[in-house]
Amino acid sequence: MDNTNSVGLVERQYLTFAQDEPMPLDSGEKLGPITLAYETYGSLNRDQSNAVLILHALSGDAHAGGVNAQGKIGWWDDCIGPGKAFDTNKYFVICSNVIGGCQGSTGPSSINPATDKPYGLQFPVITVGDMVRAQRYLIDYLGIEKLLAVAGGSMGGMEALQWCVGYPERVRAALPLATTARHSPMLIALSEVGRQAIYADPNWNHGDYYDGPRPNAGLALARMIGHITYLSEESMHHKFGRRLDQRERFGYDFETDFAVEGYLRYKGNLFTERFDANTYLYVTKALDYFDLSNGHGSLAKAFEHSADIKYLVVSFTSDWLYPTYHSKDLVSALTAVGADVTFCNLQSTWGHDAFLLEVDTMTRLIADFLGRIVTEDGISLPATPAPTPVSLPVTISVDSDILQS
Amino acid sequence: MNDTNHSILRADLRVIADLIRSGEKVFDLGCGDGTLLRYLTDTRQIVGRGVEISEPGVLACVSKGLSVRQGNLEEGLSDYPNGSFDTVILSQTLPYLSKPDFIICEMLRVGRRAIVSFPNWGHWRCRLSLLFHGRMPMATDLPQPWHAAPRARPLTVHDFKDFCVEQKIRVAHEIYLAGKRQLTSRGNHNLQATTAIFELA
């Protein structure tokens, strides 16, 4: 692998907070202590004004860039590194795993201090607002008064928008990509089908399975459904066609005939190795609750105090999960409050996954947009450039399951 | 990025640029690759916004550090509250609009004034083309044959003036070009001009 523009070997870090005073949640419950897993790339400038917070999607984690000790490449490594869209020579890039997650942050698989057993369904239901509230503790801890930008696709885009509405004074620019300001009935329906797949797995046992076999069949099925929604009909034709999967002719049985079946089964199984079924339930629920207009009367009203932030909104023509009209509604609301918003509906056949796959166009757009914020707001670049990458582990696995929603 | 050289602009854009005062809020409808907005930002310190339908155009605008949204003009205008801009510009796009009357009214709703430039099919070459050659005239400043242009609606200077009277739109300024040359205030503009620029209020 060419690692000249990689951030190199990265290490996951942890911040634990809300030990003495638990963090209030949107549901009215409280949660504490909370641990967030996070990674950072690049270095802060003198006045801590060059920080970019990257927000991951449903199945993502804190490992967004570089290569970790296990040899795994970050999920948005194409866009994070020296000279890339989020240029680590210029920006201090942060990514944290959300609360409710299962990759280092406090979630349903974490130990409940009250019982010394995993939370399971004792874990309080969380919202995108709660995820962002927890991220604010991390940004406070890192000493960052105002983020240069918050950026993310899909659920990450919702978190970015939630930052703008919740903490407008802490954000200069926002990049919500392939996302929505409000989960649609179709999205809720798809979430529910995924959850039902998990509930139907006898191993799920109402969330209490950490001592026994895991509800892998249910989780894998939920993931398969998810993967269909991340593709487009055209990208399926392109990727699989009607090709057979390791067979010369039809088997006339119920083994895997078609390549697309093999792909979904493979992806579903792979997912169970790294993801917790209860986290899938909690995070999809958080997405379903997401509606920024809630309590404001209209979407425009929600952004009334966020009009000083500069926005780059991007949608993709073949994304049927978060179709372009979601982004247009968002752009309309932002325009109505007088915000500076740039909107691009990019031509792509990749469906929802396009925000991770259209690397060349995204690199250009993001780099140009951030460059403009730096110029207009007079952001200084860090005095010490990011350290040169240390030598990487010999075996590097490109995790083909990094695509998320 | 910064190019403050006047000569980079198309002739009608040069005229339009000279009508813009420093510090104005300017909205360019169909802003293309953002050349005019970038020029006005650098030379007049305007606050610029653009709307553009093509993806390459939008990407070019973003690379010029401009704020632009992709979409058609109807979408671009309807979200803006009344009086959001000092000036709204529509250059050489009028013949392509499906609802030109609506767009011009919308321009005057979201802006204090509107500046419109359009190719003049009343130009003598166009007239001669139909009279002597029996062929549909191509506007001298928009030479596209009938089959290549997307639904063009040919109009002349007289047509546009009639429209303004009918719609009770005040014409604050009219400037005429023959090619790159600006015509004097006298003469038969409908016959001589290849492009007309109107400031409406």
**pLDDT tens profile A72-88:** 999 999 999 999 999 99
What pLDDT does residue B9 have? 87
Helical segments of A120-239, H only: 128-141, 155-166, 185-199, 216-230, 233-239
Nearest CB to B69; choose among A341, A364, A372: A341
Q: Is A344 within 8 Å of chain B by CB?
A: yes
Question: Given an 8 Å threshold on Cβ–Cβ distance, is B69 in contact with A343?
Answer: yes
Q: What is the pLDDT of residues A66-123, one digit of tens each?
A: 999 999 999 999 999 999 999 999 999 999 999 999 999 999 999 999 999 999 999 9
Distance CA A367, CA B172 (A): 42
What pLDDT does residue B98 have? 87
Please report whether residue B174 resides in a domain: yes
- Confidence bin at A404 (pLDDT 50/70/90): very low
Class at the top of the CATH hierarchy for domain A13-183+291-377 = alpha beta
- Confidence bin at B7 (pLDDT 50/70/90): confident
Q: Is A345 within 8 Å of chain B by CB?
A: yes
Report how many Cβ contacts below 8 Å link chain A to chain B.
Answer: 56
Q: What value does the mean pLDDT take over residues A300-318?
A: 98
Contact residues, chain A, for B49 at CB < 8 Å:
340
Please report whether residue B1 resides in a domain: no
- Confidence bin at B185 (pLDDT 50/70/90): confident
Q: What value does the mean pLDDT take over residues A304-321?
A: 98
Contact residues, chain B, for A347 at CB < 8 Å:
55
What pLDDT does residue B143 have? 83
Question: Given an 8 Å threshold on Cβ–Cβ distance, is A310 in contact with B58?
Answer: no
Distance (Å) from the alpha carbon of B135 to chain A's nearest alpha carbon: 38
The residues near B160 (Cβ < 8 Å, ≥ 6 apart) are B116, B118, B196, B198
Q: Is A220 within 8 Å of chain B by CB?
A: no
Distance CA A15, CA A137 (A): 9
Quote the pTM value. 0.94
Strand locations in A302-396 (E):
310-316, 340-346
Question: Is the torsion defined by CA of A37, A276, A232, A313 positive or negative?
Answer: negative
Judge whether B155 and B95 are in contact, CB under 8 Å: yes
> Residue A330 corresponds to which tokens in the numbers above?
């968002």
What pLDDT does residue B1 have? 45
Interface test with A, best of B63, B70, B72, B110 (most A CBs within 10 A): B70
Distance (Å) from the alpha carbon of A274 to chain B's nearest alpha carbon: 37
Contact residues, chain A, for B84 at CB < 8 Å:
338
Of A110, A352, A353, A401, the catalytic one is A352
- Confidence bin at A403 (pLDDT 50/70/90): very low
3-state secondary structure at position B177: strand
Please report whether residue B158 resides in a domain: yes
3-state secondary structure at position A58: coil
Q: What value does the mean pLDDT take over residues A310-317?
A: 98
> Residue B25 corresponds to which tokens in the numbers above?
């809020």
Q: What angle do CA A149, A152, A158 make, to 5 degrees?
A: 100
Of A77, A87, A288, A319, the catalytic one is A319
* Closest chain B residue to the Cα of A343, Cα to Cα: B69
**Nearest one of A53, A56, A55 to A40, comparing CA atoms:** A53
Of A105-109, A148-152, B150-154, the poorest mean pLDDT is in B150-154
Quick check: is A352 catalytic?
yes
The DSSP letter of residue B69 is E
Instruction: List the 296-315 stretch of A: residues with Cβ below 8 A of B.
Output: 310, 312
Query: B interface toward A at CB cutoff 8 Å?
Result: 49, 55, 58-59, 61-63, 65-71, 75, 78-81, 84
The amino acid at A224: M
Q: What value does the mean pLDDT take over residues A256-282?
A: 97
Interface test with A, best of B69, B72, B77, B109 (most A CBs within 10 A): B69
Quick check: is A56 catalytic?
no
Question: Given an 8 Å threshold on Cβ–Cβ distance, is A335 in contact with B69?
Answer: yes
Quick check: is A319 catalytic?
yes
Q: What percent of chain A has pLDDT over 70?
A: 94
- Structural domains of chain B, count: 1
Looking at the predicted structure, is the pLDDT value of residue A336 above 70? Answer: yes
What pLDDT does residue B139 have? 86
- Confidence bin at B147 (pLDDT 50/70/90): confident
> Residue A219 corresponds to which tokens in the numbers above?
């989780």
> Residue A148 corresponds to which tokens in the numbers above?
């240069």
Domain limits at B173? 6-200
Nearest CB to A365; choose among B59, B67, B78: B59
Arithmetic mean of pLDDT over chain B: 92
Q: Which phi-psi region, left, alpha or beta, contains residue A43 (left: φ > 0; alpha: ψ -120 to 50)?
A: beta
What pLDDT does residue A400 have? 45
What pLDDT does residue A385 have? 61
Distance CA B129, CA A186 (A): 57
Looking at the predicted structure, is the pLDDT value of residue A176 above 90? Answer: yes
Looking at the predicted structure, is the pLDDT value of residue B47 above 60? Answer: yes
Arithmetic mean of pLDDT over chain A: 94
Q: What value does the mean pLDDT take over residues A47-65?
A: 97
Question: Given an 8 Å threshold on Cβ–Cβ distance, is B79 in contact with A368?
Answer: no
Of A154, A191, A235, A327, the catalytic one is A154
- Confidence bin at A383 (pLDDT 50/70/90): confident
Beta-sheet pairing, B111-119 with B85-91:
parallel
* ipTM summary value: 0.92
Please report whether residue B103 resides in a domain: yes
Q: Please tell me which residue, A154 or B5, carries the higher pLDDT value.
A: A154
Q: What is the pLDDT of residues B92-141, one digit of tens each?
A: 999 989 899 999 999 999 999 999 999 999 999 999 999 999 988 888 88
Distance CA B21, CA A318 (A): 42
Interface test with B, best of A332, A368, A369, A373 (most B CBs within 10 A): A368
> Residue B47 corresponds to which tokens in the numbers above?
């606050």
Looking at the predicted structure, is the pLDDT value of residue B37 above 60? Answer: yes
What pLDDT does residue B151 have? 64
What pLDDT does residue B94 have? 92
> Residue B168 corresponds to which tokens in the numbers above?
């009770």
Domain CATH for B123? 3.40.50.150
Residues A267-289, buried b or exposed e (16+ Cβ, 10 A)? bbbebbeebbbbbbbbbbbbbbb
What pLDDT does residue A52 have? 98
Please report whether residue B111 resides in a domain: yes
